[in-house]
Structure 1
Amino acid sequence: MKPTARMRLALACGAVFLVIGTLLLMGVYLLVRNSLEPRDGLGKPKYITMPEGPYDANNREYQVAVRRVEQVRRTYQRDTLNTLLTVGGAGLAASSAVAVWYGWWVGGWALRPVQQVTETARRVAQSHNLTERIAYTGPRDEVAELADVFDTMLTRLARSFDGQRRFVANASHELRTPLTINRTLVDVAVRRPDATDDLKRLGESLLLVNTRHERLIDGLLALAEGEQAVLDRRPFDLSDVVEHVLDQVGAEAAERSVTVHRLLDSVPTAGDPVLLERLVQNLVENAIRHNHEGGEVWVTTRQRTDAAEVVVANTGLPVPPYEIETIFEPFRRLHGDRLRSERGSGLGLSIVRAIADAHDGTVTARPREEGGLTITTELPPPEHPTPGSA
């Protein structure tokens, strides 16, 4: 486990105290040892004054007494220094442990404002709510400067994302209007009684191109909306949305001779029903359009322990495993389907992933051995109300 900043600070405090204490203990040891050494003339004086007179330094009894005193002094010196090292070492170890604990406490106190910044950043990352701010009110120090920089960054990010979404929405709206006018004019022209066969064929081609452009613009708008965080989440049954979508696509499935099987269990979830309807619609339409005549589609909703799950599987051409992630990228199609407008704009699955991410969900795909795909979408269940809440 990688040590945290708080742990590193605590260990640093303990290490610094241990080094300083060791140096101090060594200095005291040398000082005491030097103090216990005999001074010049004190260990072996030339004579000692006794009641019956001075003892000569060459006296045998005097020499025995001097050696005995020297032995006692060395024993006392050794015991004193050993006691100093034992008691000092124990005290140094205990003090170092206290220093580590104090460093841990100081680290927690000093890093508490940083933890506030981290918690706010984590909430913003999980909820995609760029309107939240740290609003740090502590002392004007380095932490306050960090919090102010983070708040400024959130403000700029929110402004940038809002501008991007407004641009996409406005551009989609402005582009949709002339396309609608073009479709009306072409439709009127091909329905005229004097319209030639060449004019009608040209008109049908223009209508197909116009339809493709309209789908592209609708897809861009849905992608921009899907990337927005869903803040107002309403609880509802996801199986009702899936059943409604399947009823809507029934005619297209019959036209393409695709059989749709449904196994819908009640699955409570929470979110934006309109966006989740678009998610399911894109999955089902993708399964129908990227299929072969006489193919099959299986749509299942089921409740997991911690997720509401929608599974859409279909027959079709084999999909290489290394191509799985590319199908979620905008404008990416498999098998070279770039010119067939009836199969969409290439934004369907990227919109699915954007909507799932906005709901804190996940989308995964895996190829079927028989051909086609199995795409699983997991959405969080509705939050249970806390006791005592309204």
Structure 2
Amino acid sequence: MTLRVRFAVVSGAIFFVLAGLLLIGLYLLVRAQLEPVPGWRNPDVIRVAGYEFYPGQAGWEVANQRGIQIRRLYQAGTLDSVRNVGLLVLPLGTALAAFLGWRLARVVHRPLEQATLTARRVAQSHDLRERLDYRADDEIKELADTFDTMLDRLSRAFDGQRRFVANASHELRTPLAINRTLVDVAVRRPDASDDLRRLGESLLVVNERHERLIAGLLALAEGEQIVLDRRAFDLSDVVEHALDLAAEEAASRKIAIHRLLDSAPVAGDPVLIERLVQNLVENGMRHNEPGGGVWVTTRQRSDRVELVVANTGLLVHPHEVESIFQPFRRLHGDRLNSDRGTGLGMSIVKTVVEAHGGHVSVRPRDEGGLTVTVELPAALPAG
């Protein structure tokens, strides 16, 4: 029940109660007024049609009873009229009061509705720079000012997170890049021993694993932020590019990639969307089996676009799917330091999808492997 409907119901109920009490009081008052006074019960003379009858005179009793009967009929008729008119006016008045209450609630509700529309627009556009800027001096202004203060704090918080992510990206990646360069130079020296080369190769593998982990954590942190840089582009182009980059790895793993890429216009952050697609394609290949396949499809459905990635692999039980989006969790009990990634891929996918107002679902395939379906809002046509 909306606020306006409740206001209308309360207005109608108040009118019904007050009008009902008024009707009962009026009915009792009229009945009391129509009751005969003591002198009417034994009048000194009764005049009927020009004749006068006195107590004890012939016809007195008949005339008196006739007068009493007429008075009772008049009383009953008057009370019936009061009751009937009241019962007719009461529901009509209640309906009118409810309607007027509904209309008046519109006047009271309009400022709140405007504030709600602005808040919804901020939530949908993710533009934290917009404010309600409510200027009327009433009770709603306090709520609007509180909401604007909250938006200010959120905007500062997200700006701080963006700066932290940018700084962390530089501070964490630079030492690893230096380590990788130093180890690579040491391994390639002509006088390097076999033990040194084996140690260097092991260090490079560990360094690469750390780089992937840091890249995944940074992508996860970026995906958790509100997407402010929204651009319109075709999701199929991003998927095509990601599949081309994965072709060499797919060939080395003897995995066939099947693509059916229809146009899928979407609005969002191209970098985050590309990371999403890359994670899905990499998961489809790394959690696969030699000679398996990966099927990638893009299409548009009404106001949504779909990206579907299916792969062969080990049989997945339905209860295992629930934990697939948790960070550092893998299916089939894989170790975190395995060659299948860092355990952040699907967590990043879910975070990026939710940041764009979309939905992701996972379904085990009967033949083994998974089918991952990502739904994102379609980009509105220009103009």
Distance 1:329 1:130, change over 3 A: farther
2:202 aligned with 1:193, yes or no?
A: no
2:17 aligned with 1:7, yes or no?
A: no
Q: Distance in 2 between matches of 1:233 and 1:148?
A: 28
Deviation of 1:147 (Å): 0.9
Partner of 1:117: 115
2:105 aligned with 1:107, yes or no?
A: yes
Partner of 1:344: 341
1:218-367, aligned counterparts within 5 Å? Answer: 218-367=215-364
Partner of 1:134: 132
Partner of 2:56: 58
Partner of 1:383: 380
Amino acid at match of 1:192: R
- CA deviations on 1:242-290 (whole Å, 9 max, x unpaired) are 2221111111111112121222233333333333222211111111111
Q: Distance in 2 between matches of 1:273 and 1:54?
A: 110
Contact 1:209–1:341 (CA under 8 A) maintained in structure 2 = no
Partner of 1:94: 92
Deviation of 1:111 (Å): 1.3
Distance 1:257 1:165, change over 3 A: same
Q: Distance in 1 between matches of 2:371 and 2:30?
A: 82
SS of the aligned residue for 1:41 comes to: helix
Distance 1:180 1:341, change over 3 A: farther
Partner of 2:166: 169
Distance 1:53 1:309, change over 3 A: closer
Contact 1:169–1:224 (CA under 8 A) maintained in structure 2 = no
| TM-score when normalising by structure 2 | 0.92
Distance 1:48 1:86, change over 3 A: closer
- CA deviations on 1:226-245 (whole Å, 9 max, x unpaired) are 33444444333322222221
Amino acid at match of 1:339: L
Partner of 1:32: 30
State which of 134, 156, 159 in structure 2 corresponds to 1:159: 156
Contact 2:336–2:342 (CA under 8 A) maintained in structure 1 = no
- Structure 1's unaligned 5+ residue stretches are none
SS of the aligned residue for 2:324 comes to: helix
Q: Distance in 1 between matches of 2:47 and 2:116?
A: 82
SS of the aligned residue for 2:168 comes to: helix
Q: Distance in 1 between matches of 2:331 and 2:162?
A: 28
Distance 1:266 1:45, change over 3 A: closer
| TM-score when normalising by structure 1 | 0.91
Deviation of 1:384 (Å): 2.1
Partner of 2:76: 78
SS of the aligned residue for 1:292 comes to: coil
Q: Distance in 2 between matches of 1:42 and 1:73?
A: 10
Distance 1:329 1:132, change over 3 A: farther
Distance 1:165 1:231, change over 3 A: closer
Distance 1:165 1:347, change over 3 A: farther
Q: Distance in 1 between matches of 2:15 and 2:265?
A: 59
Amino acid at match of 1:348: G
SS of the aligned residue for 1:329 comes to: coil
Contact 1:127–1:229 (CA under 8 A) maintained in structure 2 = no
State which of 8, 16, 21 in structure 1 corresponds to 2:14: 16
Deviation of 1:17 (Å): 0.7
Contact 1:258–1:296 (CA under 8 A) maintained in structure 2 = yes
Distance 1:53 1:342, change over 3 A: closer
SS of the aligned residue for 1:269 comes to: strand
- Could you tell which deviates more after superposition, 141-150 or 160-169? 160-169
Amino acid at match of 2:101: G
Q: Distance in 1 between matches of 2:128 and 2:47?
A: 95
Deviation of 1:66 (Å): 1.0
Amino acid at match of 1:23: L
Contact 1:212–1:341 (CA under 8 A) maintained in structure 2 = no
Deviation of 1:342 (Å): 2.8
Distance 1:49 1:108, change over 3 A: closer
Q: Distance in 1 between matches of 2:7 and 2:52?
A: 67
Contact 2:165–2:222 (CA under 8 A) maintained in structure 1 = no
Q: Distance in 2 between matches of 1:319 and 1:133?
A: 48
Contact 1:283–1:312 (CA under 8 A) maintained in structure 2 = yes
Amino acid at match of 1:78: A
- CA deviations on 1:153-202 (whole Å, 9 max, x unpaired) are 12222222332332233223211111111112222222333433333322
Amino acid at match of 1:38: P
- Structure 2's unaligned 5+ residue stretches are none
Sequence identity percentage: 63
Amino acid at match of 1:8: R
